[in-house]
Chain A
Amino acid sequence: MYNNSFYGDDVRWFIGRVVDNNDPLRLGRLRVRIYGIHSGSTEHIPEYALPWAQVVVPVTEEGSTGYGSNPAILPSAQVFGIFLDGKDSQLPLVIGSIPKIESDKADDDQYTNPTDDQLPGQSNAEKIFLYLISDDQHAYTPEQACGMLGNLKHESNLNPLQVSDVPGEDSYGIAQWNPAPGVKRKQELIEYCTTNGYDYTSLFGQLKWLKADLDKNNFRRVDKKLGDLKDARTVEIASKIFEFKYEAPQPGSTDVRIENSLKYYETFVTGTSS
């Protein structure tokens, strides 16, 4: 077990794909799905179970508490690094990113369910956007759809199989429907999908339920000042309404959600996003 007396003699390098840069410790750590070590199956290795990898920053950054800047690597980036523990492969360290040709599929297409093939669009983000603005049940405006999409991105990275990484919470799906006894949102999702013959683990089933749920005005919090999602004219307002009335998360993530929403608006509507 201790045959290697010096850790530096036992190094294994890797290439991976960033799936989460929202480090709860604000140290710029990344969750990376490492090719060949972490299977693509989010059932066996959900994203919340991926280890946080520390990131090497340039020597031009101060590197001491309170000084210097954090890494700016975004989800979907391809990164290179080493395992600090060699073949045990539990302690990843990211050294840098490897630019790549971006495909049409975005960062949120890890999981696909065969039933989702009926949704138009390449990536999960595009499928969600196109479904939300479609006439099925109720059509939302592009601004409203992007406001919702930015929130869903923050909640689940648009992964229909996402389970909350908060111990004991078990919120599930793209909107992180909470199964707690007083809320039972996940149970409502399952009941709706079962009744209507949809797979509740699929993006298709979850989008059907999302629209049905919103059409019932089934908001977790009532806030008349915010108005109705269907009346929201801008991406920012739609993002806030969806956040405060439907998701009702802990405070502190509003800016990130709006930023996500605006990015999707640029991608799918104005076409100015890279």
Chain B
Amino acid sequence: MSYPNPAKNTVDDFELEEVIFTSNRGEGTSYAIQNIITDFDIYEHLDKPFLSMKMAIVDTVNFVQSVDLQGGESVRITIQSLETKKAGEKIVKNFIVDKVIQSTRPDDKTEVYYLHCFEDIVLTSSLVNINRHYNNTPAKIVQNIINEYLGRNVIRSTDEYQTNMQVIVPNMHPIEAASWIKNRITSVDGFPFYLYSTLNSDDMYLVDLGQLLSRSPINKKAPMTWIQSTSQQHLTDNVMPILKYEHKHVDDILSLIRSGYAGASYNFLNTLTGQNSLCEFDVTNDVFEQLRDHTIFKEQNRYNYPSSAGLTVTGSQVMTKIASNGSYKNANYSVRTLDEESDPIAYKKRITGAALKNFMSKAPITVQVNGRPFIAATGDYTIGNVVRLLFLDSQLEQDKTADPDYKKSGDYLMYSAKHSFSTRNPNRVVTTLLCARLSMYSDNLSVGDFMNV
């Protein structure tokens, strides 16, 4: 991954090759509108199996009136990054207009329309109701729903812990149903699964957090770096500058405790047997210590949690759920239902999954960087990958390279991304990344050591 220096760069970051707007009114006429688009943002998120987009149309020719924009129109957008132009690789995405967010009139001859769009599968999904039964593993049910109703290929982790379940989808659209089932999946180690789409691929991904966090940082030797001090500017030669960052509303430990993700007693009641499966949950012993030898904690081994502070009191929260009434228990065979498990260990996997997912949001950081590396159509470089961030500590000494600020520095999972494209000469793309992690590096590494971990 090479980084262009935006300050010195005068050439376009990308080429907006084509934006085709197709109205669903009348005969379905198509229009090439790339010349009247000034800005557009494309959003990706690990919790959403579709992309969304906001775009600004500068209308000086009564375009919106003439096409009678009503919502539901399709917008096909073709982008080419400079890195992949020679190879001819392009990003082509199909969206539908969800709504007009706002229209403003800066002068008598111009109207600016801000449109909100979803990837086309959202409309496809919204037009289908699923009310049918499934009997399979939850990951295969999700895959079947996506394949059958949305026509997308699903690339998934095979490390699924859960066995077959029988379920009747109670009137949901396919994306809603797939997400509903997906929330019941964990890996063998208890990592939750994510179902997401990316900018650079037409596939959908169903991957567990353990697999995502185990990935090597895509910028291992050249971290995204925040540098303000002029004495440290020499570092910028090998790194990607962070243009802006935001680190707020983090380390909200109380909400994690109150939600039962730090320590709680979980009861899973089966009304057919009248028995209760009790799971005493303690995130330190049941999650972090259990995963101590996992790849994700091999280098970055300081948990993002004050484990010795006495905050994990198992009885401090009591959660009780009816997990089964033997809906699918017959005389000679039975199939588990949506929230039913065979034993307390299996229930604990689910709690672990939910806890890990929530601990991921404990200390996120938002960074803004040049977006060119992320729009290369040759591979997936955006959400679901790990990036390395470097912040220098505030105790700067004269003529000495500062140490990393380990509270913010480290390897993070890209959880969501906003790619802001601007077609004002030259064409620019800036990416805003929401990054999350479960652990930090130890605090005795120098900047040089950090780049070589």
Structural contact, B133 and A45, CB atoms closer than 8 A: yes
Given contacts A24-B330, A25-B329, A51-B328, contact A6 B320 (CB under 8 A): yes
Structural contact, A90 and B183, CB atoms closer than 8 A: no
Structural contact, A91 and B322, CB atoms closer than 8 A: yes
B327 at interface (Cβ–Cβ under 8 A)? yes
A96 at interface (Cβ–Cβ under 8 A)? no
Q: What residue of chain A has the Cβ atom nearest to residue B180's Cβ?
A: A88
Q: Mark A27-48, 1 if CB is under 8 A from B, else 0.
A: 1010000001111010011100
A85 at interface (Cβ–Cβ under 8 A)? yes
Total interface residues in chain A, CB < 8 Å: 36
Distance from A211 Cβ to chain B, minimum over Cβ atoms (Å): 33
Q: What residue of chain B has the Cβ atom nearest to residue A6's Cβ?
A: B320
The A contact surface, by secondary structure, is loop
Q: What residue of chain A has the Cβ atom nearest to residue B129's Cβ?
A: A39
Structural contact, A165 and B330, CB atoms closer than 8 A: yes
Q: Which of A173-190 contact B (CB under 8 A)?
A: none
B247 at interface (Cβ–Cβ under 8 A)? no
B residues near A37, Cβ cutoff 8 Å: 131, 168, 170-171
Structural contact, B170 and A89, CB atoms closer than 8 A: yes
Q: Which residues of B contact A (CB under 8 A)?
A: 131-133, 135, 166-168, 170-171, 180, 183, 259-260, 266, 269, 271-272, 317-322, 324-333, 337-339, 350-351, 354
Structural contact, A167 and B333, CB atoms closer than 8 A: yes
Distance from B155 Cβ to chain A, minimum over Cβ atoms (Å): 24
Structural contact, B327 and A7, CB atoms closer than 8 A: no
A residues near B272, Cβ cutoff 8 Å: 27, 54
30 contacts across the A-B interface (CB closer than 8 A): A1-B350, A2-B266, A2-B321, A2-B354, A5-B320, A7-B322, A25-B326, A25-B331, A37-B131, A41-B131, A44-B131, A44-B133, A45-B131, A45-B132, A46-B133, A49-B133, A52-B325, A54-B272, A84-B271, A85-B338, A88-B170, A88-B339, A89-B170, A90-B167, A90-B170, A90-B327, A91-B322, A91-B324, A91-B327, A93-B271
A residues near B337, Cβ cutoff 8 Å: 51, 90-91
Q: What residue of chain B has the Cβ atom nearest to residue A93's Cβ?
A: B325
A residues near B328, Cβ cutoff 8 Å: 51-52
Distance from B253 Cβ to chain A, minimum over Cβ atoms (Å): 18
Q: Mark A3-25, 1 if CB is under 8 A from B, else 0.
A: 11111000000000000000011
CA distance A53 to B324 in the complex (A): 11
A residues near B329, Cβ cutoff 8 Å: 25, 52
Structural contact, B183 and A49, CB atoms closer than 8 A: no
Distance from B132 Cβ to chain A, minimum over Cβ atoms (Å): 4
CA distance A165 to B318 in the complex (A): 38
Most chain A beta-carbon neighbours within 10 Å: one of B170, B183, B339, B350: B170
A residues near B171, Cβ cutoff 8 Å: 36-37
Given contacts A2-B351, A7-B322, contact A51 B333 (CB under 8 A): no
CA distance A88 to B180 in the complex (A): 9
CA distance A174 to B317 in the complex (A): 53
Q: What residue of chain A has the Cβ atom nearest to residue B331's Cβ?
A: A24
Given contacts A5-B260, A7-B320, A38-B168, 20 further A-B contacts (CB under 8 A): A2-B260, A5-B317, A5-B318, A6-B320, A7-B322, A24-B331, A25-B326, A41-B131, A44-B131, A44-B133, A45-B131, A45-B132, A51-B327, A52-B329, A54-B272, A88-B180, A88-B338, A89-B168, A90-B338, A91-B322
Q: Mark A82-105, 1 if CB is under 8 A from B, else 0.
A: 001101111111000000000000
A residues near B333, Cβ cutoff 8 Å: 167
Q: What residue of chain B has the Cβ atom nearest to residue A43's Cβ?
A: B132
Distance from A49 Cβ to chain B, minimum over Cβ atoms (Å): 4
Most chain A beta-carbon neighbours within 10 Å: one of B168, B330, B333: B168
B residues near A50, Cβ cutoff 8 Å: 168
CA distance A5 to B183 in the complex (A): 17
Structural contact, A7 and B133, CB atoms closer than 8 A: no
Distance from A185 Cβ to chain B, minimum over Cβ atoms (Å): 22
Distance from B386 Cβ to chain A, minimum over Cβ atoms (Å): 25
B residues near A89, Cβ cutoff 8 Å: 168, 170
CA distance A7 to B319 in the complex (A): 8
Q: What residue of chain A has the Cβ atom nearest to residue B353's Cβ?
A: A1
Most chain B beta-carbon neighbours within 10 Å: one of A1, A39, A87, A165: A1
B residues near A27, Cβ cutoff 8 Å: 272
Structural contact, A38 and B317, CB atoms closer than 8 A: no
Q: What residue of chain B has the Cβ atom nearest to residue A86's Cβ?
A: B322
Given contacts A25-B329, A52-B327, contact A90 B351 (CB under 8 A): no
Q: What residue of chain A has the Cβ atom nearest to residue B350's Cβ?
A: A1
Distance from A216 Cβ to chain B, minimum over Cβ atoms (Å): 33
Q: Which of A32-79 contact B (CB under 8 A)?
A: 36-39, 41, 44-46, 49-54
B residues near A165, Cβ cutoff 8 Å: 330
Distance from B326 Cβ to chain A, minimum over Cβ atoms (Å): 7
A residues near B339, Cβ cutoff 8 Å: 85, 88, 90
CA distance A24 to B330 in the complex (A): 6
Distance from A34 Cβ to chain B, minimum over Cβ atoms (Å): 9
Distance from B269 Cβ to chain A, minimum over Cβ atoms (Å): 7
CA distance A50 to B167 in the complex (A): 9
CA distance A76 to B183 in the complex (A): 36
CA distance A7 to B329 in the complex (A): 22
Distance from A94 Cβ to chain B, minimum over Cβ atoms (Å): 11
Structural contact, B330 and A44, CB atoms closer than 8 A: no
CA distance A70 to B218 in the complex (A): 64
A residues near B183, Cβ cutoff 8 Å: 1
Q: What residue of chain B has the Cβ atom nearest to residue A49's Cβ?
A: B133
Distance from A169 Cβ to chain B, minimum over Cβ atoms (Å): 11
Structural contact, B325 and A91, CB atoms closer than 8 A: yes
Structural contact, B168 and A7, CB atoms closer than 8 A: no
Distance from A85 Cβ to chain B, minimum over Cβ atoms (Å): 6
A residues near B132, Cβ cutoff 8 Å: 39, 41, 44-45
Report, nearest first, the 5 A-B pairs whose CB atoms are least far apart.
A51-B327, A44-B132, A24-B331, A49-B133, A89-B170
Q: Mark A148-177, 1 if CB is under 8 A from B, else 0.
A: 000000000000000001010000000000
CA distance A53 to B272 in the complex (A): 10
Q: What residue of chain A has the Cβ atom nearest to residue B321's Cβ?
A: A7
B residues near A36, Cβ cutoff 8 Å: 171
Q: What residue of chain A has the Cβ atom nearest to residue B183's Cβ?
A: A1
CA distance A5 to B132 in the complex (A): 29
Distance from A89 Cβ to chain B, minimum over Cβ atoms (Å): 4
B residues near A87, Cβ cutoff 8 Å: 170
CA distance A91 to B269 in the complex (A): 12
